[in-house]
Amino acid sequence: MSARVLVTGAGGQVGQDLLDTLAGQSPRGGDPAFLPDGVAVRAGEFEVAGLTRSELDVTDRDATRRVFAEVSPDVVVHLAAYTAVDRAEGDPAACYAVNEEGTANVSDAAREFGAHLIAISTDYVFDGTKGATYLEDDATNPLNVYGASKRAGELRCAPEDTIVRTSWVMGVRGTSVVHVIAERAERGESVRFVNDQRGTVTTASDLARALVSLVRTRPGGLWHVANAGETTWFDIAAYVGEVLGRGEDFASPIASSELSGSQVALRPANSGLNTAKFSAAFSALPEWRVALARLVRERVRAGGES
């Protein structure tokens, strides 16, 4: 019997990869051999309803309830979110409407209609002062509106819900910094990126496959999911250049203080996620360089399409 899965925010980079993965297909830039629960997706295992932002506005409580009544899902993966970190500083009401109230609407509807919720959150719930990677039970202290709104959304979830914190998400499809870096590399230009913001990369394809494991098991509680290894944005840029055949002069390190106001929102200096809990229950996501190389090479193979 198929498990019925509702995916909100299905048009985003993770949403598209998750729909492919639930259908038993390897998404663009994915690794078919990465099976964190050791089991490939079977034909017909999941019956999926993927809804984009235009098809479901999660801030509309009544519309959310109607969708749950119509779909009658067993599991809902809640990807819909306000993710414009800098814009949120001047638009907090809209940010909270989606990330807090929208999450509350989805959690309430899941509980009412008997579905298990998997809600996606962020490393930006932390302030970056720990000096080491963050565990699920570490104290939160967001520095910006986006992080605070996502933490507020976590708190509106039910105790039985599953909350997945992830970080620095980038995919072949959709918009992410990695595409900007690759475009500059391909044009023979150079880039400058900060080397004083540390974190953990998460490729959309690997996150999607990890989410399938959670859809199957519905564990509840907090989970940190990201590719293995910490890095900086400078290291990411330099590695993308390396994969694309650029030399050491492609990327230059700068300090966050040199960004000249291009980043409105404060970012944590070190928001890396400790993923030992997920790795123990399933298996670790691939090391970030391995995952990022897949992404970049698939982008090249597709002619730079994103």
Instruction: Supply the residues annotated as catalytic.
Output: 146
Contact 225, 166 (CB under 8 A): yes
- How many whole angstroms from its chain centre is CA 55? 21
Residue listed under structure tokens 């414009």: 84
Residue listed under structure tokens 């964190």: 36
Q: Which amino acid is at 40?
A: A
* Helix, strand, coil abundance in the chain, percent, nearest 5: 40, 20, 40
Distance CA 15, CA 174 (A): 10
The DSSP string of 22-69 is: HTT-PPTT--TT--TTS-PPPTTSEEEEEE-TTT--TT-HHHHHHHHH
Contact 55, 12 (CB under 8 A): no
Distance CA 188, CA 204 (A): 27
